[in-house]
Amino acid sequence: MPWLALTLEVAAAQAEPLCDALLEQGAQSVWIEPPGRLHALLPERSDARATLGLAAAAAGQDVPPFRTYVVADEDWVRATQAQFGPQCIAGKLCIVPSWHEAPRGEGVVLRLDPGLAFGTGSHPTTRLMLGWLASVSLAGARVLDYGCGSGILGIAAAKLGAARVDAVDLDADALCATGGNARANGVAVRAFAPERLPPGDYDVVVANILAQPLIVLEPLLAARARPGGRVALAGILEAQAAEVAAAYGEHFAARVAAREEDWALIEGERR
């Protein structure tokens, strides 16, 4: 069956909210090609302008310029796969789609295909978080991934030695994706809706969301981090980093630990 492909350019900070909104409007698949080129697959008879208009309104954005073209099933699969090769992080982790051979000597292999939930290793915010996880000792740690998407961070933590990994997301599709991806990688990651997360604290809390939701979530994430535990936050533009670090300053010794392109990662220790 042919499909209608949609391609547009947006600012990096707008790409993820627009992806989510397009999926809500019925897009079959969406991916971001850094820094801000967005691709979506719609049913062939879709009204692309109307779909994009509704998605942009839901994301609080203006409708950007776009182009469309019709592709066959097999062409779309090839085009999608061509965008995603192995992503190797810090010599310790390698994110490899199922259609690729794993590179030799690149550390722990995590098998992950693009899907409906955010997190393939291709976006700078995900790479920042994976690099941070690869740089800290996770042996025996209890880890919480809040806003798990595909489950990539929790799965990486489990493969790097975490003893227990819990994952949380508002989106039921993300919880399903996390469970399926964890099983495909032979690791245990428990996925929960926020209200179903069991009581308890964690040695490491990670959250790759966006700056304003992270600020709102500070009391919750602080309550989940044990004294002396560590937090890592991403999805933060460099211009927003000071505000997010200040919001976490009461409970964490928070600071910018890494940057990539226009994005920053904040880490801290629970006071």
Measured over the CA atoms of residue 74, residue 76, residue 82 and residue 85, the dihedral's sign is negative
CA nearest to 152, candidates 98, 107, 210, 113? 113
Helix (H, G, I), strand (E, B) or coil at 188: coil
pLDDT for the residue 138: 97
Sequence-ordered list of residues with C-beta below 8 angstroms from that of 74, at least 6 positions apart, any chain: none
Residues 112-164 have pLDDT tens digits of 876 544 566 667 889 999 999 999 999 999 999 999 988 999 999 999 999 99
b/e map 208-221, b = 16+ CB within 10 Å: bbbbeebbebbeeb
b/e map 49-58, b = 16+ CB within 10 Å: eebbebbbee
CA nearest to 199, candidates 184, 220, 182, 185? 220
Query: pTM, whole model, 2 decimals?
Result: 0.72
Q: What is the mean pLDDT of residues 73-94?
A: 68
**If you average pLDDT over every residue of the chain, what do you get?**
88
Q: Which residue has the tokens 């919750």?
A: 220
- pLDDT exceeds cutoff 90 at 167: yes
Residue 69 banded pLDDT, cuts 50, 70, 90: confident
Q: Which two tokens stand for residue 212?
A: 């304003």
Residue 174 banded pLDDT, cuts 50, 70, 90: confident
Which of the two residues, 39 and 53, has the higher pLDDT score? 53
Structural domains in the chain, CATH included, are: 3-82 (3.30.70.1170), 117-270 (3.40.50.150)
CA distance 149 to 238: 22
Alpha-carbon separation of residue 228 from 96, 185, 202, 267 (angstroms): 33, 30, 10, 12
Kindly state the DSSP code that residue 101 receives in the 8-state scheme.
P
Q: Which range has the top average pLDDT, 33-37, 173-177, 214-218?
A: 214-218
pLDDT for the residue 82: 55
CA distance 28 to 73: 12
pLDDT for the residue 20: 83
Within 13 Å of residue 10, how many CA atoms lie on the same side as its CB? 25
